[in-house]
Chain A
């Protein structure tokens, strides 16, 4: 008898009453987020941290589509962050100084060589390029089972990283085209200039924050809609039992590629924003640890749970930019020890990952279905269609 027949364990999905409650909570949270920067000075480092947290929210939501919704173990998400960041690096800076294209940018930039496009255009390009890259990188993984998807995506992430680092010397040692400027990176990147609004500056961080918030809200909305759609259902089906799904007429190839593309597009969007925010992009940002960091956000927050992922992303991002440097660093001296706690950074992080998976794999705000899978092991352990179709 199958696991489904054996389980017999009841769990129910949230009813109407609690849905209303969560809507009210969500509205309050959004309202709070909108007015948050007003409590700080315009250039406050806190606002900077919140903005970064929001960018991570966008990227974590993207990875959640791939891992949380579709169940594809992607360990190479950094690739999409990279392509988004390099998109803005290429199209909003003096990098390609041989050319002179200006579209929708301020007067001051008219004389600067290179390609300079308006951020809205760049966001679109970043989304398109990332989505394409997502499909390309996802394609080889379609026939593979879980662990191997992880390794292949990790390998891709590393390849992209290498291309970024060595990008000033062509690709794989062939050619001399300077694509990424390696570790020196591309800078400065133009500041964001939206229509109807004053050009963003580095002094007033609030416009950056509100733009990031707007993007995050749009992506949040898109995620919720996808989750509750025919495609969202197809993702759950493919995740739980690919063989049954394909036998029911779900085009599993297309469904998986859509997950990769959509998730990648969000990562690219986030990457382009971060590139603008930091005003530079360089290869050191694109290491494997980034992929794990974002993965940890969605696991800590609650795999597959849209709001959980938001909470997880904000939490880990703030811990990373605030808690560890400010608080942890001073702790050892206070208790009379003499070592640098940041040295323990990723060991503690690793420990948290282990503890989380063993004790509370469903995360802080669990998504009911995923919680059932992770905790009660309902609907797991299915073969991939390709294994069966030999």
Chain B
């Protein structure tokens, strides 16, 4: 359990796809308020691992404990409701919705509107919608999306802004833990640095813990307090950036492939 200050723990988490072991008995933890990373060469099972944390994949074996509760195999929407939000490696915004609407979907689990409420629109509903929109706009500003884009359809925004909207959308559910799947993919060094700063700001201002999957070593080493290294689905090393950087197994796993 998380009495020791872990917001997320896994115990022997395993995923097998038709005989192929994608993730092999990974036991790990993220402490409250920590910024942690998961790294590993391509195909190491990082995204599969993430997907088990968020409920998209049902673990074959093992447990996931979030904020003290066992959420192993729970439905993704339940897990999100309990405070775990994520972004995707290849941006999955709702293409025909505006930025505000995308963020509002992220807020779905924090709103109470019912079917009858939708039809009759009592004052409570109207207020909730209004508040929701305000929160959405505020979040968009917070992540740095210019106001004139707020009512633009998401699919017509530049790539960098789309990434920001995705983060705003994840934040809309008021998570305790934010999972970011390769958030700097496709960014140049300046943008990556900006994102790194932003993550720290997020952690401080919003009382969040953050778990990243990343390939960009600069970002990983710069922002993480704790790094877990996966290779072929297994955890081969973990520790502070210093410890991991000097670990021979890690170097060997990457075979010199570093950014």
Contacts and interface: CB of A to CB of B under 8 A. Distances in A.
Query: Within the complex, are A and B direct neighbours (CB within 8 Å)?
Result: yes
A385 B95 contact: no
B81 A249 contact: yes
Interface string B48-77: 000100111110000000000000000111
B100 to A, nearest CB: 10
A4 interface: yes
A357 B14 CA distance: 45
A248 B93 CA distance: 11
B121 A225 contact: yes
A389 B169 contact: no
B159 interface: yes
Contact of A245 (B51, B105, B117, B120): B105
B77 A249 contact: yes
A12 B155 CA distance: 10
Interface stretch (A113-121, A182-190, A228-236): A228-236
A8 B155 contact: yes
Interface residues of B, number: 53
Contact of B115 (A9, A221, A262, A385): A262
Given A5-B162, A230-B129, A248-B173, A379 B106 contact: no
A56 B129 CA distance: 33
Contact of B92 (A13, A232, A244): A244
Interface stretch (A155-163, A173-181, A193-201, A366-374): A366-374
A379 B153 contact: no
Contacts of A31: none
A369 B96 contact: yes
A222 B120 CA distance: 8
Contacts, number: 159
A384 to B, nearest CB: 12
A16 B117 CA distance: 24
A2 B92 contact: yes
B118 interface: yes
B153 A13 contact: yes
Contacts of A378: 95-96, 155
Contacts of A372: 95-96, 153, 155
Contacts of A352: none
Contacts of B96: 11, 236, 240, 368-369, 372-373, 378-379
A344 interface: no
A241 B58 CA distance: 19
Contacts of B56: 243, 246-247, 385, 388-389
B92 A250 contact: no
B57 A231 contact: no
B86 interface: yes
Given A225-B118, A378-B95, A249 B173 contact: yes
A379 B55 CA distance: 23
Contacts of B111: 230
Sorted nearest first, the 9 A-B pairs with minimum C-beta distance are: A379-B95, A249-B109, A229-B118, A249-B80, A369-B96, A10-B156, A244-B92, A230-B113, A378-B95
Interface of B: 17, 51, 54-58, 75-77, 80-81, 85-86, 88, 90-98, 101, 104-106, 108-111, 113, 115, 117-121, 125, 129, 151-156, 159, 162, 169-170, 173, 186
Interface of A: 1-5, 7-13, 221-222, 225-226, 229-234, 236-237, 240-241, 243-252, 258, 262, 368-369, 372-373, 378-379, 385, 388-390
11 contacts: A1-B90, A5-B90, A5-B159, A225-B118, A225-B121, A229-B113, A229-B125, A233-B105, A237-B105, A241-B92, A248-B80
